[in-house]
Amino acid sequence: MDNLVQYIISSLSLGGLYALMTLGLVVVYGILRLINFAYGELVMVAGYGLLLFGQTAMPWPLVALLSIAVAILVAVLMERVAFRPVRFGSASTMLITSFAVSTLLQNTTLLAISPRPQAVRLPAFFVESVTVGGLRLRVVDLASLAVSILALIVLSILLRRTIIGIALRAAADDFTMTRLLGVRANLIISVAFAVSGLLAGIVAIFWVGRSSLVEPAIGLQPVLIAFIASVVGGMENLKGAVLGGYLLGFLTVGLQTWLPQALLDYRNAILFGIVIVILLLRPEGLIRPAYSRERR
């Protein structure tokens, strides 16, 4: 019983993080049909924000906020400088551009800061744990569980209640129609990238918090996770992204708990094998969109 509760809490905590990662990828894909390989670098940038601002005397909440702001800024800049000029190119042109942006950001960090992993100053609660009803729980797990749920609630209110949020959802459903109704394309795409950067920033705090280290390649794992979860949940579907994220969280913790060690080494191979199978059997993901789309 205790094990089960522990499992559920770990899964919800990791799943929430995965859901935010996936949402950050899908919010851009839904509008631009761009799988942003450089999304992981937004997590990396925020991670280095934590490192650099953390070396000053600023209080930690301010450090975290500034780091998130940096991720948002880089996301919007990335779109303005690299993706906007190729927006009307082919899907593969955009895909390859994002691959180039990813390599560019990673190698620039490598050159400007350091190729080696560096320790990040984190507040004490990241390593503490509490005992609740006989269960030892890590505070950071509880925090990431709470923050991810809070972020999802706030985001869903913004998407449902504000004009820009409604426009964003409309654009994800049918971008051409939304533009015909007078929504400015550049604005909506910038907002989508800003949301993507915001989510990457929040993810970065907890992702870096897990190891308290940053390195130039730290964004790879998050972007891979977001790929898997978005394929599972459906690439064009914001709800699917959240669900895919939580599902992957439960699956990951489950595999870690119950898979024999010999097979655990092949975990990535198994997960990506599942990705290929889902792409073949359910190209729209496990959750189909409400109606079929004309654009492919």
The residues of the shown chain that bind another protein, judged by CB under 8 A, are 29, 33, 35, 82, 85-86, 88-93, 95-97, 99-101, 103-104, 107-108, 110-112, 115, 220, 224, 227, 231, 235, 265-269, 272-273, 275-276, 279-280, 283, 295-296
Does residue 39 sit in helix, strand or coil?
helix
Task: Count the residues in the chain.
Answer: 296
Least Å from the CB of residue 79 to another protein: 13
User: What is the closest distance, in whole angstroms, from the C-beta atom of residue 234 to another protein in the complex?
Assistant: 11
Nearest-approach distance from CB 201 to another protein, in angstroms: 23
* Least distance in angstroms from the C-beta of 36 to another protein: 11
CB of 82 to another protein, least distance (A): 6
Rounded distance between C-alpha atoms, residue 105 and residue 237, angstroms: 28
CB of 222 to another protein, least distance (A): 14
Closer to another protein by Cβ: residue 152 or 267: 267
Nearer to another protein, 162 or 268 (CB): 268
- Closer residue to another protein in complex, CB, 161/295: 295
Q: In sequence order, what E strands does the chain have?
A: 118-119, 129-132, 135-138, 213-214
Given the complex with another protein, which of 29 and 206 has the nearer CB atom?
Answer: 29
d(C-alpha 43, C-alpha 146), whole Å: 19
Distance CA 226, CA 27 (A): 12
CB of 149 to another protein, least distance (A): 28
Q: State the maximum Cα–Cα separation within the chain, in Å, rounded to a whole number.
A: 59
Q: What are the distances in angstroms from CA 212 to CA 142, 184, 218?
A: 17, 41, 11
Residues near 267 by Cβ (< 8 Å), separated by ≥ 6? 252, 255, 256, 259
Q: Which is nearer to another protein, 168 or 235 (CB)?
A: 235
Joined together, the tokens standing for residue 243 give: 């669900």
Give 37 or 206: the residue with its C-beta nearer to another protein.
Answer: 37
CA dist 188 and 32 (Å) reads: 10
For residue 128, with 0-12 CB atoms within 10 Å meaning exposed, 13-18 middle and 19 or more buried, which class applies? Answer: exposed
Q: Which C-beta is closer to another protein: that of 11 or that of 109? A: 109
Dig out the tokens for 242 from the structure.
Answer: 């959240």
Cβ atoms of 21 and 229 within 8 Å: the answer is: yes
Closest among 24, 22, 102 to 286, alpha carbons compared: 22
In the complex, least distance from residue 217 CB atom to another protein, rounded to whole angstroms:
9
H or E element that contains 221? helix 220-233
Query: In the complex with another protein, which residue's Cβ is closer, 226 or 242?
Result: 226
Structure tokens of 136? Answer: 């030892």
